[in-house]
Chains A and B, each alone.
Chain A
Amino acid sequence: MTAAATEAVADLLRGICGPDAVRPAGHGDAVGGRRPTWVTAPADAAELAALVRACAEQDLAIVARGEGSKIDWGNPPRRVDVLVDMGRLAGVYRHDADDLVATVGAGTPLRAVQAALAKRNQRLAIDPASTDATIGGLLAVGEAGPLRLGYGTPRDQLIGVEFVRADGVIGHSGGRVVKNVAGYDLGKLLAGSYGTLALVTSATFRVHPKPMASAYVSRPVTSPMEAHDLVIALLGSGLAPAAIELDLPIINPGALPPMVSRPTPGRRAMPGGSLAERPRPATGSAAPAAGSGATSPETSDASAASPDVPRLPDAARSSRTERPGRPTTTGTVAVLLEGTTAGIKARASDASKLMRGATVSERPPDWWGRYPFHADDVALKIATPTADLYAALYALRDAAGFPVSVRGSVGVGVCYASLPGRPAASSTIEAPRGDPMPRHARQIADVISALRTTLIARGGSCVVMNAPPAIRDAVDMWPDVNGLELMRAVKRQFDPGDRLSPGRFVGGI
C-alpha cells in the first residue's frame, strides 16, 4: 500500500470509529509475526459492521483481537491490514440468573464475566488456561480447560450468537433459551473457527450454579499407562467427576542431559515412600481391594496436597525423583468432584479408595488448568479417543530426543504437550558447528510427524498451537483434516474475498 493509500484507509476508519479509535499498528500488534497497518477499536456491533463493510469495499484483510493471549496461534495470516481491537464490545449485557442464561460482549474478559455471574452465585463452566482470555478469543479457538469433562467446550454452552459477516452484515443464530432447534446453529460453526468466517460480537451462554462443594483428589503416577488405567477406572466408576487431569512434567526422563541433576525437594511430597513401589490402580470398573482406603491419607490441609511452590518455568527444570540407575518420572492424576456438601464428602472418600493412595484437598494442584508450555515453547494439542491417549504419549516419548512435558484433560482424551522451542545448551556439544536451530527444527518436525502417524491409526489429531518462527517454517501447524473440501466451501460462502484472518486455519483457510 502506498503512503497515500494508507492514509486514505486511516481516514476511512476514523470516519467510522472516530479519530481516537484508530492508530498505526506497532510491533506489539503483530499477528503471528505479520504486522497490520492500522489498529482500530469499534464501539459497538454497528460500528464494527460499518468497518467490515468498508474493508470489504477496499479489499482489506481483518484480524480481530481480544486480549491477544492467543493471537499467534495457528498459521500467520497471509495478510492483515486492519487489526480490530474488540475491547470496547465488552460487558455483561444481560444476566437472566433465574433462567441460567447470560449474554456478553465478545471483548469481555472471561474473568469479568465470572465476577458478574458470581454475584448470583453462578458461573460460566469454562476454565481455559489463558486466564486473561476474552469471550471472543476463547470462542475463536474453542479453548476449554479441565471442566470440559463435565460441561463440554465453549460450543456446548453457547446458545446464541451475534456476528458480523465478511460483507458487513450483522447476523444471529440461536437465541436466549437453552433448548432451541430453530434454524442452523451457526454458533457451533463459529466456535473454533479462528476468526476465519465472521466476527462474533456477542454471545449468549447457558450458565450454571456454582457447586455447593468441591474436592480435588490427586494421586502420583509414573507413566502414561498408569494414568490410563486410572482414567479408565474413574470413568467406569459412578463417581461422575467434573474433571480428570494429568500432569507429567517429564514424559521421557532419558532425554534429560545426563550431567544435569535437578531434583526439586519438597515439590511433591508423596505419602508412602518410593514411587516405583506404588501399587498399580485397579483397572476396569472392578472395586479396589477392601481396606485399601487405609493407605489413603485424607487431609484437610490443602498445602500438603498442593505445596505452595513457584510455578515451574519449563519442562527441563521440572521436578523429578531420581533413583540410582534409572530415572523415574513423577506425575499426577487429579480428579475434580463437584456437588453437595454431603455428597462430596462421600465421593471424595470413594475416589481416594478407588485411586489408592490419593490425597484429598479443597484446592487444586498448582499445575491445574495451566498449559505445560510457555511463550517460546512448541505447544501441541493432542486429541484421541480416551482409551488411546497413552499410545500417543508413548509415541511422543519414543520419538523425542529432548524433554517433553504433558498435561491436560485425560478424562476426554485431550492433552497438551510442551516441546523445547530451541535446542538445549548441551546439544551444541553433539552438533559440532554452525547454528543448531535448523537441526532442532527438523527434529521437532520429525517428532510431530511420527506422532501424527500414530494418531492417524488411533483416530486422533495433533495441532501445533504455537511455535517459534523457525519451527513454524519446518512443520505444518495443522494436520490433514477430514472434510476439508466442505470446510473450504463454507469459507467461500462466508468470506469469498478471503479477508478474515486469511490462512490462519486448517488447510490454509
Chain B
Amino acid sequence: MTTALDKLATQLRGELGSAAVITDPALLRTYECDGLTAYRAVPGVVLLPTDAYEVQACVRACRDAGVPFVARGSGTGLSGGALPVATGALIVTAKLNRILDIDPESQRAIVEPGVFNAAISQAVAGHRLYYAPDPSSQQICSIGGNVAENSGGAHCLKYGFTVHHVTGIEICTPDGELVTIGAGKAAEAPGYDLMGVFIGSEGTLGIATKVYVRLLRQPDAVVTMLAAYDDMESAGASVAAIIAAGLTPAAAEIMDALAISAAEKAVDCRYPAGAGAVLVVEVDGPAAEVAAEHAAIDAICRANNAFEVRTAVDATERAALWRGRKSAFAAVGRISPDYVVQDGVVPRTALATVLTQIEALAAQHGVRVANVFHAGDGNLHPLVLYDAAVDGALAAAEEVSGAILNLCIDHGGSITGEHGVGVEKASFMANMFTADDLDSMQLVRCAFDPDSRANPGKVFPTPRLCGEPRGGRAAEAALASAIAAAKAAGATVDDEPVVW
C-alpha cells in the first residue's frame, strides 16, 4: 500500500505541483482528526487541490492506485466524518474557496466547496440577501462540509437545513467523473433527486466541487427575546405553547442552569441571575408580522412563569442575547476539563421526559450533563462532562452519551440531528434502522461507489457487498482496524478539543 501511495504522491506532484501534496509525517499529523478529537488516524497522504479539475485528478489517482480517499473541508465536523484513512488520501477542499457567481435576481450563488458558510452571506449582503443555514461554526466551516453533513443551525425551525437551500452540486464521483446533479440555478430538474441523497451522505458518495445555493431576502425585521425561568419545565412549556399557538419562530433555544453557568464564566453573558433555564426565541419577517408574533410570544412566556423577558431589537442587543447560547459548547470547557458533545433528536413533546431521564442517567453514573438544545425541533445537545485524568471517567461519559442516544431512539427520535453519523455513531445505526433499511441505503452507495473508495467505514456499521468487490472490502477492513487503534489511543489524547 505504501508503494501505491508513494507512486500516487509522485504522480500528483507532477500534475498539481509539489506544494499540493503533503507526505511529511509531521505535517500529516495536523490532519489526523476533525472536530471529534477522540478519533485519530494519520492520513497516508494529504492533497490540496485548488479547483474541480485538480480534485478530479486526485480522485482518479486514488482510483488508479486502488486506495481510498476522505474529503475534508475545514475539519470542524463533530462526528469524525473527516477522520482520515491511514492507507489512503485525505483530499482537502479548503483551497477551492472562490465565489463563482452571484445572481441576485434569481437569488442564487455558485460557490466552491471551500468557501466558508458565513462568507456567502457576507458576499451577498449588499443585495439584501443571505444564506440561511447557520451552523454555530459558520465563521469557519465550509459549504462543502455543510453539504456532506446536511448542516442545520439555530434557525432550522423555520428555514430548514442545507438540503433545502442547495439547488445543485457539481460532484466528482468516486470514479473520477465531474457530474452536475440537481437543478443548478433552477428550482427543479427532471430525473432522480441524486442531489437530495448526496446532501448528508457524509462524503461517501463523492466530493462536491461546486455548490449552487439558494439565497433568501433578508427579513425586514428581527426580534430576539430571552426569557428566564426558575425551571426547565416552564421553559419547555413556553415552547410548546408557542408552537400550539400556530407560531413558527426562526429559532427557539434552551439552556439549562449548568450550561448557563458555563457561559457566564466564559463570556460573561449576564443572563438573568438565578435562572434555572433560559429560552432564546427569535422571530423574523415582515415588520408587521414580527410585531404581532413578538407580542404573542412575550405574553406566552410570561404566562408560563418567565420571571424576566428581555427583548433585543437591534444587532448589538441581539448579539448580546445570543452570546451565551452561541458560546455554550466551548464555554463548557470552563467548568470541565473534557466533555462529549452529543447530538440527538426527540419529538418535541418528549423533551421534558427525556431531559428527566438524562438527569437520572447522569446521577446514576455520577456524571454531570449540561443541556443546550434547539427546543423548537427537539434537537438535544447534551454536553457530557468528564475529566480524562480520572480513571474510568471517559468510559462513564461515553456510556451516558450512548445511553442518551438510545433514549432518543426509544422516543421515536434520531441519533443525530445535525452532526452526522461519521465514525462516532455508525454502531448506533443498527439500533435506529433495520438491516434491510441499512441495506436499502447502501444500494445508493453501490451505485455511486461500488468499490467503497469514498470515505470508507463511515455512516454504516457494515459495508454492503456491491456485486463484485474489487479491493473495497480490503479497504474497509484496513480502516476498521485503523479506527480501533485510534479509538484505543483516544483515551490518552489530551489536546484542546476544537468544538463548535
- A binding-site residues for B, Cβ under 8 Å: 96, 98-101, 121, 142, 148, 152-153, 155-156, 163, 165, 169-173, 175-186, 188-189, 191-193, 197-198, 208-212, 232, 235-240, 285, 339-343, 345-347, 350, 383-388, 409, 412-414, 459-461, 463, 478-479, 481-487, 489-490, 492-494, 505-507
Contacts and interface: CB of A to CB of B under 8 A. Distances in A.
A182 B414 contact: yes
B303 interface: no
Contacts of B189: 383, 461, 481-482
A339 B289 contact: yes
Contacts of B164: 152, 156
B188 A169 contact: no
Contacts of A181: 149-150, 152, 161, 200, 414, 416-421
Interface stretch (B2-10, B28-36, B346-354, B472-480): B346-354
Given A343-B288, A487-B191, 11 more contacts: A171-B440, A181-B152, A183-B460, A188-B197, A189-B444, A240-B289, A339-B289, A343-B292, A347-B289, A385-B184, A486-B179
B333 interface: no
A276 B410 CA distance: 65
- Residue of A101, A181, A490, A493 contacting most chain B CB atoms (<10 Å): A181
Given A235-B217, A236-B217, A385-B186, A186 B439 contact: no
Interface string B89-100: 000000000000
A236 B434 CA distance: 46
Interface string B428-447: 01001110111111011111
B377 A179 contact: yes
Contacts of A506: 190-192
B52 to A, nearest CB: 15
B240 interface: yes
A179 B187 contact: no
Given A96-B349, A177-B414, A459 B185 contact: yes
B107 A235 contact: yes
A179 B161 contact: yes
Interface string B344-373: 011111000000000000000000000000
A184 B197 contact: yes
Contacts of A386: 105-107, 187
17 contacts: A98-B348, A148-B187, A169-B440, A179-B156, A180-B416, A182-B414, A182-B415, A184-B200, A192-B193, A193-B193, A240-B217, A346-B287, A347-B289, A459-B186, A483-B179, A484-B191, A490-B192
Contact of B286 (A101, A185, A240): A240
Contacts of A188: 163, 193, 195-197
B128 to A, nearest CB: 7
- Residue of B108, B193, B220, B416 contacting most chain A CB atoms (<10 Å): B193
Interface string B242-271: 011011100000000000000000000000
Contacts, number: 287
Nearest to B247: A209
Given A177-B346, A177-B413, A459-B185, A347 B217 contact: no
Nearest to A211: B246
B500 interface: no
A203 to B, nearest CB: 15
A494 B421 CA distance: 24
Interface string B193-232: 1111101110000000000000001111100000000000
A305 B157 CA distance: 35
A96 B347 contact: yes
Contacts of A342: 288, 291-292
A184 B444 contact: yes
A487 B244 CA distance: 42
A486 B438 contact: no
Contacts of B452: none
B293 A340 contact: yes
A448 to B, nearest CB: 14
Contacts of A208: 248
A413 B285 contact: no
A387 B106 contact: yes
B433 A172 contact: yes
Contacts of A170: 436
A386 B106 CA distance: 5
A351 B347 CA distance: 37
Contacts of A414: 187-188
A412 B447 contact: no
A112 B398 CA distance: 46
B444 to A, nearest CB: 5
Contacts of B193: 142, 155, 188-189, 191-193
Contact of A339 (B186, B286, B413): B286
Contacts of B432: 175, 182-183
Given A98-B244, A342-B291, A347-B289, A486 B437 contact: no
Interface in B98-134: 103-108, 128
A142 B193 CA distance: 10
Contacts of B150: 181, 185
A182 B439 contact: no
A86 B386 CA distance: 53
B421 A182 contact: yes
Contacts of A175: 412-414, 432
Contacts of B181: 482-483, 486
Contacts of A489: 447-448
B292 A239 contact: no
A161 B181 CA distance: 22
B136 interface: no
B160 interface: yes
Nearest to B179: A483
Contact of A183 (B188, B345, B441): B441
B374 interface: yes
B418 A179 contact: yes
B190 A384 contact: no
Given A182-B432, A459-B185, A177 B345 contact: yes
Given A184-B197, A189-B197, A413-B187, A100 B243 contact: yes
Contact of B180 (A185, A237, A482, A487): A482
Nearest to A163: B440
Given A176-B412, A413-B187, A186 B194 contact: no
Contact of A155 (B106, B196, B285, B446): B196
B238 interface: no
Given A155-B196, A347-B289, A459-B186, A172 B446 contact: no
B12 to A, nearest CB: 25
- Residue of B220, B288, B418, B466 contacting most chain A CB atoms (<10 Å): B288
A238 B286 contact: yes
- Residue of B195, B348, B379 contacting most chain A CB atoms (<10 Å): B348
A364 to B, nearest CB: 20
